[in-house]
């Protein structure tokens, strides 16, 4: 659909087209920024908006691929160097950035639960329920081979997050460009204000009524 609209807009630069309803121009710009400007004769402005849209689309697509690549990379890395499974949830990867092993994580959770449920409130049942909800089981266990491997894992996760942020910015640029082009097309497609009639009646120096006509070039 989008390549077809771009082709039609470029063709409008060469072949004259019939006048479109006013609502059609903002709709064109909402789909393809700059298209209405090209049709309405604002070629430079339309080309800039169309080029900006193309760059934003390419950037969004590129960062989307980066997000997918980095996600696959850190998951494979964790599988090789920490022993995670293929169905590891994202919140576990978050824990793996902060703890060298699931045992370290479990020890910390047990300490927190003991301080709260057994010392401050003395709730043995709450203590057991908390541990059942928050500790990793033997099947979910993981252990980094070294702190350096964990550090590399963090780097991959950060790169993935940066790519996701850039992808969001590219999407914002796409939406902003469409909003600007849509508003611009709305103003460009307005009917020009009617000019005063070139023909009017006046009185000359001899008080003789005359019909005057003004021709502008």
Radius of gyration of the chain, Cα coordinates, nearest whole angstrom: 33
pLDDT tens track for 43-102: 999 999 999 999 999 999 999 999 999 999 999 999 999 999 988 999 999 999 999 999
Query: What percent of the chain lies above the pLDDT cut of 70?
Result: 79
pLDDT tens track for 139-182: 999 999 999 999 999 999 999 999 999 999 999 999 999 999 99
CB proximity list for 173: less than 8 A, separation 6 or greater: 52, 56, 59
Provide the whole-model pTM. 0.74
* Cα→Cα distances 58→70, 170, 179, Å: 18, 9, 19
Where do we find the tokens 């020890």? 107
Residue 101 half-sphere exposure, CB side, CA atoms within 13 Å? 8
Q: Is residue 6's pLDDT more than 60?
A: no
pLDDT tens track for 10-38: 444 444 444 678 888 999 999 999 999 99
């Amino acid at each position: 659909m989008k390549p077809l609209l771009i082709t039609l807009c470029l063709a409008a630069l060469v072949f004259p087209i019939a006048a479109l309803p006013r609502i059609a121009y903002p709709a064109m710009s909402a789909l393809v920024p700059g298209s209405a400007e090209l049709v309405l004769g604002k070629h430079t402005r339309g080309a800039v908006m169309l080029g900006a849209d193309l760059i934003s689309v390419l950037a969004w697509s590129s960062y989307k691929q980066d997000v997918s690549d980095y996600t696959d990379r850190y998951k494979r890395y964790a599988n090789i160097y920490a022993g995670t499974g293929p169905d590891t949830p994202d919140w576990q990867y978050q824990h793996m950035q902060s703890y060298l092993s699931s045992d370290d994580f479990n020890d910390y959770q047990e300490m927190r639960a003991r301080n709260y449920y057994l010392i401050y409130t003395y709730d043995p049942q709450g203590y057991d329920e908390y541990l059942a909800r928050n500790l990793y089981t033997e099947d979910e266990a993981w252990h980094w081979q070294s702190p350096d491997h964990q550090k590399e894992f963090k780097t991959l996760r950060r790169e993935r997050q940066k790519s996701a942020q850039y992808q969001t910015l590219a999407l914002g640029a796409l939406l902003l460009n469409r909003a600007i082009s849509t508003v611009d097309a709305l103003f460009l497609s307005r009917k020009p204000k009617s000019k005063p009639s070139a023909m009017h009646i006046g009185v000359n120096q001899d008080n003789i009524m005359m019909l005057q006509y003004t021709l502008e070039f």
